[in-house]
Structure 1
Amino acid sequence: MSGNPNLSEKSNERDTKEASEVKKEIRLLEREIPEKLLETILEANQYVELQELERRLDSLIVRKRFDLQDSLSRQSKKTRAIRIFIRKTLENQAFQSHEEKNDIQISDLASLSVPSWTIHMEGRLIPGKEEEMKQLDEIPFTTFFKKIAFQIQRSEELYPESNYVEWNKLSNGTNLANELKLKRNGDQNVKINILLYPDEHPERYKLSSAFANLLAIKEGTRPTIVTALWQYIKFHRLQDMEEKRLINCDKGLRNLFETDRLYFPRIPELMNRFLEPVDPIVLSFELNVNEESDNPFEIFDVFVNADDPKQTQTRSFLANVMNQNEIKVLDEKISSFIEAIHYSKSKYDFMRQFSEDPVMFIHRWTESQSKDLEVILDGSETNFAEKKDSKYYQQPWIEESAIHYLNRLNSKKQQEILNASTRK
């Protein structure tokens, strides 16, 4: 029975990739300069001092990171008020033109400017009792939203430009801003809806009507919903007396989950079909293109359940600290340099010993090679007379045996490194 060659190739590729990743991790551990070179290379002592400083910094960073994560878990959310200002700028509208339509020649039609309008959306946090406006101005209002969508209510045929535009917050927060702009062509009044999707951690969900009626809550986070369901089960005494993880469904649960018994650990997965994203906050207004004003023509106050603004900055800081791609690249370079130093040291020792006493060095080297050969041959007896002849080491099988021997040494060295890293 023959195997699938494609599966075999994929398996080999996966094994090769895993092996290369393991080798890469092992290389990162080889960052120590040999002790014998510390006195020879003046810069080596500086490198050792830098390593010690790096270890202390790593320890400090890890401890501070745990402190920050602990502070994030302990702080509770609070309702924040955001004031949204919406203003407009108009270009080439009818009331802005000073030319008479009758004076326009046919040849000038191509040079006419297209009427357009621009919506400017700005936001500011309303300070609390112990907050200063200056500090809040430094926090972009888009920090509190994961998505902001603009809906322009007009014909798609007359205005081929997209009438639905989204702004989505990037995971690294690089596109946060205190102002969003939307420019479109047009010379007619138009109704616009702005949909605000709050960025909440953990995320809130809206319950389906049947699920909401059962638990008497309309929305909540996953832990809140599971807790409410558990309170319902306890109140109605639906937990099985013998097997505590089984729930005996009453009429309400039976109609909802369509089963007589539930395995409680599976409830978070089963309730997914009854959860929907919460409805966005909708800001509706009409854009009038027949007059222009520098003052905001619409002001909205929006309330969101959000973390302390400092928490958002803390999360961003922790994400940057955890992202150590640049450090990994530098570690790989250091590892390569250390390997080159080890190789140069071995080469230097070899040449130095050979120059001091060439004859004795050759005898010791051939004796060492003979012992290594016996190890390769599993201790089998060899003719010592043949060993002294150089032709003995020029046979075809010698090269293959040497490769096997070096591979064994390499595997042994890798195992020692892995054991050392495990002990740390």
Structure 2
Amino acid sequence: MSNPLAGPSQTSGSGFPPTPVASQGDLKRRADGDAEAPRRLKHPRPPLPPPHVLQALVPDSPAFTDLLKLEQKLDWTLLRKKAEINDALGRPTRVKRTIRVFVSNTAHDQAWQKGASLADDKKEGAASSTVLQAEDGDVTMGEGSTSPSVPATQPKKDELEGVDVNTGKGIAGWVMKIEGRLLDSGNVRLDKTKRKFSTFLKSAVVEFDNREAPTFPEGNIVEWHAQNLTAPLDGFEILRRGDQNVNCRIILHLAHHPDRFKLLSPLAELISMNEGTRAEVVGAIWKLVKVVGAQDKEDGTIVRPVGGLEKLFAKGQDGIPFHQLPEIASHYLTHPDPITIPYTVQVDKDFNFHPKCFDIPIEVEDPLKSKMASLVQSFEGKEGKEIVQLEDKVGELAYFARDLKQKRDFLESFAASPQAFIQNWLAAQARDLDQMLGYQIGTSGLNGGSVREEDLRRSDLFNLPWVDEAITVHESSRMEMERRSKASTAGVGAGAGAGAGAGQGTR
């Protein structure tokens, strides 16, 4: 077979003509399909064609290649930042802040308040020395009178007016207020998050003195505990009845995330820590184990009672597995000490404010951490899905352009030289068929390139079913050739005899 001058491109490794399964309209509809349609592919999409193939497909592919390089750098940067953010989210990031607590109280319906209001209402009557008659016959004289006045402990008629025993209106009492707020740190990023006072507390307890039943049925203890369903509060108000000053203690239990614990002796002395989280305590114990060499030499999972650790172990215990250390450490952990604020409720004035405010240092989670978490979620969110869909669309368009180019090259080669193209195409088909069947691939030889030389050296090759068919085809071809040769010889002889007879007749 002569070497063809033209033919289909064989760079793809296959000589078959690019016969698309779907039409161009179907391919374009698939390329421009709905971006929100769910992907049905079980395997990831194939990679984009190599740059040299894209350059042959699209003249402006260098710009696209530069864009791909820029995208690779951007993807690498985003993945690195994502890994850094995930690492930062795994570590507790705490910021030290300060809560300022204010304590005050107001008094209402006290005897001196009612007396002041009555004095204002009867100022004109007192100036004219008007005599006021009481229900029990006692009298109180106005200005300049020498008669005895009504005792201070005896209620007056005007004091009993407007008193409702059922609702408590008009009865002497007071309102205690406990308020708190988070101080500004001067950092705009930290101060953007405003939290209510109650969100920093686990519970609040107020203990009053000298308010026992039955005189005061409310009791002498007021408690508040944090609940998920209650709305955050800026402060608390306690309404009580009474006309005497009351001493009290305000006990605030702070809420820590994660929970913090107070260390008891002897664990506190061993690791030099008075308060910390469970993870910090276990980490400090592990450092102590490494420093004192408490790990067993043969089995590293066993901890021996050396270097002070014998104070934590049970008496006579020779060693424990390492995974039991957190359980032992929990025996020496308790709730941290609460914040105690002393205060005296004063009812001898309308408003009483504690002369001191109380600053409580706390550690809160960095608000930037929530933003970092939302940023990580955005990678897998709507934006990430949109990027993946766009990349799928670019890949489909690239392969759509490659299919169109192969079809165009196929038709152009056929139009330029049909005979050479068909010969080249048949040779490519034969070569591909040999490759699929596992036969020898190469230049045609005596065996037609379909039988390997190694198979001819084996006798069992000629016992296969194909031998009978091959002999039949071969003998049929030979007999046909002999018949044609005999027919042609007989025709030549008959023609010669006829020519000789014609010549004799002429003479």
Band of TM-score, shorter chain? 0.5 to 0.7
User: Letter of the aligned partner of 1:124 in structure 2?
Assistant: R
User: Letter of the aligned partner of 1:289 in structure 2?
Assistant: V
Query: Any unmatched runs of 5+ in structure 2?
Result: 1-33, 39-82, 119-151, 374-507
Residue 101 of structure 2 is aligned with which of 81, 84, 89? 84
Residue 287 of structure 2 corresponds to residue 270 of structure 1: no
| Aligned-residue offset at 1:120 | 1.5
In structure 1, what is the Cα distance between the partners aligned to 2:236 and 2:346?
Answer: 19
In structure 1, what is the Cα distance between the partners aligned to 2:157 and 2:343?
Answer: 35
Match runs of 1:98-113 below 5 Å: 98=115, 101=154, 103-104=156-157, 111=164, 113=170
In structure 2, what is the Cα distance between the partners aligned to 1:107 and 1:86?
Answer: 32
Q: Which residue of 2 aligns with 1:210?
A: 266
SS of match in other structure, 1:176:
coil
Deviations 1:278-313 (A, max 9, x none): 001112111111112276655221111222357689
In structure 2, what is the Cα distance between the partners aligned to 1:115 and 1:49?
Answer: 73
In structure 2, what is the Cα distance between the partners aligned to 1:187 and 1:302?
Answer: 32
Q: Which residue of 2 aligns with 1:14?
A: none
Q: Which residue of 1 aligns with 2:344?
A: 286
TM-score where L is the length of structure 2? 0.44
Residue 224 of structure 2 corresponds to residue 167 of structure 1: yes
| Aligned-residue offset at 1:163 | 2.1
Radius of gyration: which is bigger?
A: 2
Deviations 1:42-69 (A, max 9, x none): xxxxxx99997xxxxxxxxxxxxx9998
CA change 1:68–1:234 in 2 (3 A) is: closer
| Aligned-residue offset at 1:196 | 1.7
In structure 2, what is the Cα distance between the partners aligned to 1:67 and 1:251?
Answer: 38
Residue 121 of structure 1 is aligned with which of 174, 178, 193? 178
User: Letter of the aligned partner of 2:205 in structure 1?
Assistant: A
Q: Which residue of 2 aligns with 1:240?
A: 296
8 Å Cα contact 1:92/1:116 also seen in 2: yes
8 Å Cα contact 1:191/1:285 also seen in 2: yes
8 Å Cα contact 1:121/1:181 also seen in 2: yes
SS of match in other structure, 1:257:
coil
In structure 1, what is the Cα distance between the partners aligned to 2:282 and 2:37?
Answer: 49
CA change 1:117–1:197 in 2 (3 A) is: same
Q: Which residue of 2 aligns with 1:177?
A: 233
126-135 or 190-199, which moves further after superposition?
126-135
SS of match in other structure, 2:312:
helix
Residue 313 of structure 2 is aligned with which of 257, 276, 279? 257
Residue 94 of structure 1 is aligned with which of 111, 134, 142? 111
Deviations 1:354-400 (A, max 9, x none): xxxxxxxxxxxxxxxxxxxxxxxxxxxxxxxxxxxxxxxxxxxxxxx
RMSD between aligned alpha carbons? 3.8
Deviations 1:177-233 (A, max 9, x none): 112111112222112222222211111111112211222211211111111111111
| Aligned-residue offset at 1:130 | 1.7
Query: Any unmatched runs of 5+ in structure 1?
Result: 1-47, 53-65, 316-424
User: Letter of the aligned partner of 1:171 in structure 2?
Assistant: N
Q: Which residue of 1 aligns with 2:207?
A: 151
CA change 1:266–1:299 in 2 (3 A) is: same
Structure with greater helix percent: 1
In structure 2, what is the Cα distance between the partners aligned to 1:166 and 1:153?
Answer: 15
8 Å Cα contact 2:107/2:174 also seen in 1: yes
8 Å Cα contact 1:150/1:194 also seen in 2: yes
In structure 2, what is the Cα distance between the partners aligned to 1:95 and 1:140?
Answer: 37
User: Letter of the aligned partner of 2:95 in structure 1?
Assistant: K
Q: Percent same amino acid at aligned positions?
A: 28
8 Å Cα contact 1:139/1:309 also seen in 2: no
In structure 1, what is the Cα distance between the partners aligned to 2:335 and 2:281?
Answer: 14
SS of match in other structure, 2:328:
helix
Q: Which has the higher relative contact order, 1 or 2, with Cα contacts under 8 A spaced 6 or more apart?
A: 2
CA change 1:117–1:70 in 2 (3 A) is: farther
8 Å Cα contact 1:87/1:297 also seen in 2: no
CA change 1:308–1:189 in 2 (3 A) is: farther
In structure 2, what is the Cα distance between the partners aligned to 1:298 and 1:85?
Answer: 8
In structure 2, what is the Cα distance between the partners aligned to 1:135 and 1:94?
Answer: 47
TM-score where L is the length of structure 1? 0.52
8 Å Cα contact 2:292/2:307 also seen in 1: no
8 Å Cα contact 1:169/1:175 also seen in 2: no
| Aligned-residue offset at 1:263 | 1.0
SS of match in other structure, 1:209:
coil
